[in-house]
Amino acid sequence: MSFVSKEKIAPATYKVNAAISAKDFAAALDAEFAKQLPGITLPGFRKGKAPRSMLEKRFGEAVFFEDALDALLPDAVAAALKGAELEPIFRPDNLEVDELNKESGATFSFTVIVQPEVEIEGYNGIEVQVPSAEVADEDVDARIDELRARNARQVETAPRPAQDGDIAVIDFKGMLDGVPFDGGTSENFDLKLGSGQFIPGFEEQVVGHTPGDSFEVNVTFPEEYHAEQLAGQPVVFEVTLHELKVEELPPLDDDFAQEVGEDYNTVADLKKGIAEELVDSKKQASDEALDKGVQDKLVELLQGEIPQEMFDRRTQQNIEMFLERFQLSMERYAEIFGESPDALTARLAEQSTLQVKVELALEKIAQLEDFTPAAEEIEAEQQRLAEQYNVPLQRVKMAVPEGDIVKDLNRVRALEFVKGTAKKVTA
Q: Provide the pLDDT for residue 42.
A: 79
Please tell me the distance from the alpha carbon of residue 12 to that of residue 113, in angstroms, as a whole number. Answer: 6
- Reply yes or no on whether the pLDDT at 166 is more than 70: yes
Q: What is the pTM of this model?
A: 0.73
What's the fold here for domain 153-248?
Answer: Chitinase A; domain 3 (3.10.50)
Confidence of residue 1 (pLDDT cuts 50, 70, 90): low
- For the stretch 196-216, pLDDT in tens is 999 999 999 999 999 999 999
Region 184-206: mean pLDDT is 94
| In the chain, ranges of CATH 3.10.50.40 domains | 153-248
Q: 224-244 burial, b for 16+ CB within 10 Å, e for fewer?
A: eeeeeebeebebebbbbbebb
| In the chain, ranges of CATH 3.30.70.1050 domains | 2-113
- Assigned CATH class of 267-426: mainly alpha
Q: Provide the pLDDT for residue 302.
A: 97
Is 215:239 a contact under the CB 8 Å cutoff?
yes
Burial class (CB in 10 A: 0-12, 13-18, 19+), 148: middle
Looking at the chain, the whole-number percentage of residues with pLDDT higher than 90 is 79
- Assigned CATH class of 2-113: alpha beta
Confidence of residue 326 (pLDDT cuts 50, 70, 90): confident
Confidence of residue 63 (pLDDT cuts 50, 70, 90): confident
| In the chain, ranges of CATH 1.10.3120.10 domains | 267-426
Region 248-275: mean pLDDT is 92
Please tell me the distance from the alpha carbon of residue 241 to that of residue 84, in angstroms, as a whole number. Answer: 84
Please tell me the distance from the alpha carbon of residue 253 to that of residue 265, in angstroms, as a whole number. Answer: 10
Is 302:120 a contact under the CB 8 Å cutoff?
yes
Q: Which of 295, 296, 393, 309 is nearest to 112 (CA)?
A: 309
Please tell me the distance from the alpha carbon of residue 381 to that of residue 403, in angstroms, as a whole number. Answer: 12
Q: Provide the pLDDT for residue 54.
A: 77
Rounded to the nearest 5°, which phi and psi values hold at 105?
Answer: 85, -130
- Reply yes or no on whether the pLDDT at 277 is more than 80: yes
